[in-house]
Structure 1
Amino acid sequence: MTHPLALAARLIVLTLVAVLTLITTKDVGQVRWIALLALAGIPAVVAPEHRWLAPIGRFAEVIVVGLGASAIAAAASFEDTLNPGLGASAILPYLAVPLTVAALHRHGREGGALLAVAAGTLAISGLITVDDGQRQITEVGYLVVSAQWLILAAVGTVAAGTLQRVIQTRGEPKPQPYAEATRLLTQLRSVARQLPGATLDPGGIAEHLLEDLRAVARADRAAVLTASGGGRLVVLAQSGVDRVDWETTLDADSAIADAWASQQPQTAHRSQARSRRSGDVSALVVPLVAGVRTVGLVTLEADVTGAYPSSVVASVTALTGPAALRLEAALLFDEVRSLATNEERQRLAREIHDGVAQELVMVGYGIDNALATLPEGADETSEELRSLRAEVTRVITELRLSLFELRSEVDRHGGLAAAIAEYARQVGASAGLRVHYTLDESTARLPAATEAELLRIAQEAITNARKHAGAANLWVTCAVDPPYAQIEVSDDGQGIADQRPDGRYGLAIMAERAERIRGRLEIRPRDPSGTTVAVVLGTSPRRDTVRDSVTAPEGE
């Protein structure tokens, strides 16, 4: 069977040419040509890769289009004595379907033959005049319109063939890496199933490690850090009465940098925070080493001197050794899952862009051409075509926003706040929303997987506000202080009670994403109108929990 997206595109084009046929001819009987097109396309849909059934179906489609064009033009001539070629424009956009399919299947010769058959059928059928008792089809107008659509179809076929060749020049990957990847992923799945009561969640493993360490060593403040790339660390978990802005650069003069480089525990008499703590402080930094690779660090601090003698260091390292292996497995699994998710999002974006989106754009061009060939005085038909064009434009806009969402990622140097602000700006511009920003992001970063989930939650909240709220203003708040984060999206629309089922489904997806990163999702009415969606990760004594409402800032 053909791909579902390709089938959907074919059905959309069939529906649109049927609507255009009814509009131009005002004769329900002419829809028989659309029914014949559907029948002719069955072999290409049922057996798209068959050696001779699929080509026969495509040739049948172009022949039906050629014959139907003259018949529909004749029927349209009853209503349009000045421009009988308009009728042909109703069905000719369908030429793009069989020609594009042939090009994407790398059947260059078949594409050329299809063009030749289409041209011949249109020319021969155009020579036949139909006398309706009032006038005959003007062959020149009919042939001009047919030539226009043949040229458009030829250009589209060449473009599709060129795209296919570019993809092929990249070369297909060798099967050996895939075989090895399959073997390793199968082993990972088996191991994950055998872990009793354990999870492959880096944040959860880090929190459990801190709980275990507090039983063997004093820790007024503690944290687990891991690498994020670019010579920086991210905080997976931390504990203590006060939040600490830990040193996260590996090129600084600190016990953290020394422990990472030497893979040996380090003690110090000063805090490992960026804002140095005064008074008596003992610090212990223990690297988490799995095999020969440092996967993270544990930092403990106590507000007394001599808190970490060698016996305590030995007790701490006895716990960090096994924890390092668990954390490495969790980080690797998280990375594999993230890569697979991102690749799938990019693949879906490419398929939508190269498939349905392109087909809809060509349908829009067909409607524009039909509008351009309308005679003066056809106000009713013109209004119907404009309404249809507006709907096609709306669907294309929705597809473009979906593509932007699929391709959006948290840039390693831009940060989460920048990614959310860019998405809100794009959506606000397309929907006519006035967007207000409150961005407060520290230089420290959250784990990449956590940032990705927070971005998707924010995107879903913004999309819900655009589609269902009927709002004029959107307030976006992003506060990041790892491992704490708060994302809040508010609107002044109609409120959540009136949302459609698909909007509520989006809320369920956001709740699942928040639970995956151990966050809290809160949804509440906004005073005086609208809805606030907030996700909070961790706790911070320096910040309020979740504000009862969002006050609009003075500037955007």
Structure 2
Amino acid sequence: MSASTPTRPRPHPLAVTARVVMLALVAVLTLIATREVDQLWWIALLALAGVPALLAPTDRLLGPLSRAAEVVVLGLAASQVAAVATIGGPIGGLGASAVLPYLAVPVTVTALRRQFREGATLLAVTAATLLLSGALTEVGGERQLGQLGYLAVCAQWLLLAGLGLYAASTLHRVMAVRTEVKPQHQPYAEATRLLTQLRGVARQLPGATLDPGGISEHLLEELRTVTRADRAAVLSASGGGRLVVLAQVGVDRVDWETTLDADSAIADAWASQQPQTANRSQARSHRGGDVSALIVPLVAGVRTVGLVALEADVAQAYPAPVVAKVTALTRPAALRLEAALLFDEVRSLATNEERQRLAREIHDGVAQELVMVGYGIDNALATVHDDTEETAESLRTLRQEVTRVITELRLSLFELRSEVDRHGGLAAAIAEYARTVGASGGLRVHLSLDESTARLPAATEAELLRIAQEAVTNARKHAGASNLWVTCEVDPPYAQIEVSDDGQGIADQRPDGRYGLAIMAERAERIRGRLEIRPRQPSGTTVAVVLGTSPRRDNVRGSATAGEGK
């Protein structure tokens, strides 16, 4: 095979077009200024001087020499054309303007190639050539006036070319800073600034003021002081084009319309960012009758962060003056709610990241070391003789303990990495954890899952998952149970998670089990839920966390009341 010869770079079509167009322009201007065809030989010489730079643009020798030749020819041509153009006239600089526009070609080439020193050198060579050739050439009928006009025109074009070269150099430096410094350092600097501000806000404000649920409840209380609201709720966006109920008040449990693509005043208010009134309920569970509904979007800046839904069981309950009062209260609340939602999201992201980091460290550190200890014990057992049965039994016991600790670590890693999937839902996450932990502990797991398509807030789902995990872990570790019953009922804003076992109960639990119960109580309080711990008959313990009020209980209570009335 013959060796491949390197190919020379071809002239760029834009470079060729620019030179041809500029040469044609200069030729036309020269004919207009001098009215002599003979002066076009300067244009031909100028084109000839630029051929090497055009054919070998990357050559380190031919390119600069060719461009230097261009500016020398340009300086000579400018003085000659100026002399011919001003014969019979008093001022001698106008003819130079016919040729000097070509100066933009070599200067622009050096700017595009980022050879700014060469560009400055070309300007200096051009200035020297123009001065020298102008001094040796008779310009104009009156020499002194002709020279002054010639020098003024030359200085103008040199100044314009210098400013263009300086602008290109400055632009190059700015782009270099943006492409090199900003991606590496600017995001970290911006993140540091924002996190510092967030830390200051978190320290200055009480914890309740950064709780979306608390802010929503306070807003509903304020609104009920200015208008009638038999039912009211604050809703915020979640994933999948749905809304979640942050807080609600009213005598009845309401199943609010949470789909943004439905034909409802809620969807219209979200899309238009304007208050909407309606004569029908926005609750899918409402039984009918006269209803007035008012939906007010919570807009922070240009973004809709939530909605306030108000309903009254009378007609025309929300005229324009009432809407104005409600809007006056919701406008400042929108910014507070957005801050709380952002803080909640940042806290959740930081918590999840920390859990993942701990899981990685445990897996790569102590877990691997314990596995190696187990292998070492196995090797020691293989070398123990029959006459040392006591030693062998001790090693087997130690191996069992190491195996138990490794199993606990693996379950802890699984717990740390478990999260509520955006598409799978809370019930699926709890079921997966219960099956995995139950199988490792020899428990027979019985699942009862009932989850609606509506979702709870992400932070609430995360806390409920952690409570369920702690309850399942306590049952596996301390209860000595054979069966585990896990019930998950989610119908926002109501939710109930219940974990029961048939073990020995909570009376004889160890201190770490009681500590787990305290953690669950704190988590339930954080999401405004209630934790219930009660004995199970005939044996065992039931741990339940409840949010809101069950619609089924409301229906049962209503039926019982109706029966008593009969």
Structure 2 length-normalised TM: 0.63
Find the residue that maps to 1:246 and give its secondary structure: coil
- Give the letter for the 2:302 counterpart: V
C-alpha contact (below 8 Å) 1:225/1:236 kept by paired residues? yes
Measure, in 2, the Cα distance between the counterparts of 1:317 and 1:336.
28
Q: What residue is the counterpart of 1:478 in the other structure? A: 488
Q: What residue is the counterpart of 2:305 in the other structure? A: 295
1:69-115, Cα deviation, whole Å (9 max, x unpaired) = xxxxxxxxxxxxxxxxxxxxxxxxxxxxxxxxxxxxxxxxxxxxxxx
Q: Does 1:350 align with 2:360?
A: yes
Cα 1:352/1:196, change in 2 over 3 Å? closer
Q: Percent identity?
A: 90
Q: What residue is the counterpart of 2:509 in the other structure? A: 499
Map 1:443-462; keep pairs closer than 5 Å. 443-462=453-472
Q: What residue is the counterpart of 2:474 in the other structure? A: 464
Stretch moving more, 517-526 or 333-342: 517-526
Measure, in 1, the Cα distance between the counterparts of 2:257 and 2:193.
39
Runs of 5+ unmatched residues, structure 1: 1-172, 546-556
Q: What residue is the counterpart of 1:331 in the other structure? A: 341
Find the residue that maps to 2:446 and give its secondary structure: strand
Cα 1:351/1:175, change in 2 over 3 Å? farther
Cα 1:290/1:460, change in 2 over 3 Å? same
Cα 1:197/1:435, change in 2 over 3 Å? closer
Measure, in 2, the Cα distance between the counterparts of 1:224 and 1:174.
41
- Give the letter for the 2:407 counterpart: T
Measure, in 1, the Cα distance between the counterparts of 2:287 and 2:523.
37
Measure, in 1, the Cα distance between the counterparts of 2:393 and 2:509.
31
C-alpha contact (below 8 Å) 2:208/2:214 kept by paired residues? no
Q: What residue is the counterpart of 1:259 in the other structure? A: 269
Find the residue that maps to 1:467 and give its secondary structure: helix
Map 1:35-434; keep pairs closer than 5 Å. 174-195=184-205, 199-275=209-285, 277-374=287-384, 379-434=389-444
The one of the two structures with greater contact order (alpha-carbon pairs below 8 A, sep at least 6) is: 1
| Shift of residue 398, structure 1, vs aligned partner | 0.4
1:3-48, Cα deviation, whole Å (9 max, x unpaired) = xxxxxxxxxxxxxxxxxxxxxxxxxxxxxxxxxxxxxxxxxxxxxx
Find the residue that maps to 2:238 and give its secondary structure: strand
C-alpha contact (below 8 Å) 2:279/2:290 kept by paired residues? yes
Find the residue that maps to 2:374 and give its secondary structure: helix
Structure 1 length-normalised TM: 0.64
Which of the pair is proportionally richer in helix?
A: 2
Find the residue that maps to 1:438 and give its secondary structure: strand
C-alpha contact (below 8 Å) 1:271/1:277 kept by paired residues? no
Measure, in 2, the Cα distance between the counterparts of 1:527 and 1:178.
57
How many matched pairs?
A: 373
Measure, in 2, the Cα distance between the counterparts of 1:492 and 1:544.
30
| Shift of residue 323, structure 1, vs aligned partner | 0.8
Cα 1:342/1:222, change in 2 over 3 Å? same
Measure, in 1, the Cα distance between the counterparts of 2:389 and 2:185.
61
1:264-320, Cα deviation, whole Å (9 max, x unpaired) = 011122221234643322211110001111000011112222111111111111111
C-alpha contact (below 8 Å) 1:490/1:532 kept by paired residues? yes
Find the residue that maps to 1:229 and give its secondary structure: coil
C-alpha contact (below 8 Å) 1:287/1:296 kept by paired residues? yes
- Give the letter for the 2:283 counterpart: A
Runs of 5+ unmatched residues, structure 2: 1-182, 556-566
Measure, in 2, the Cα distance between the counterparts of 1:198 and 1:515.
12
Cα 1:232/1:434, change in 2 over 3 Å? same
Q: Does 1:539 align with 2:549?
A: yes
Measure, in 2, the Cα distance between the counterparts of 1:354 and 1:252.
49
Cα 1:196/1:404, change in 2 over 3 Å? closer
| Shift of residue 482, structure 1, vs aligned partner | 1.5
Find the residue that maps to 1:313 and give its secondary structure: helix
Cα 1:179/1:302, change in 2 over 3 Å? same
| Shift of residue 368, structure 1, vs aligned partner | 2.6
- Give the letter for the 2:289 counterpart: G
Q: What residue is the counterpart of 1:5 in the other structure? A: none
Find the residue that maps to 2:553 and give its secondary structure: coil
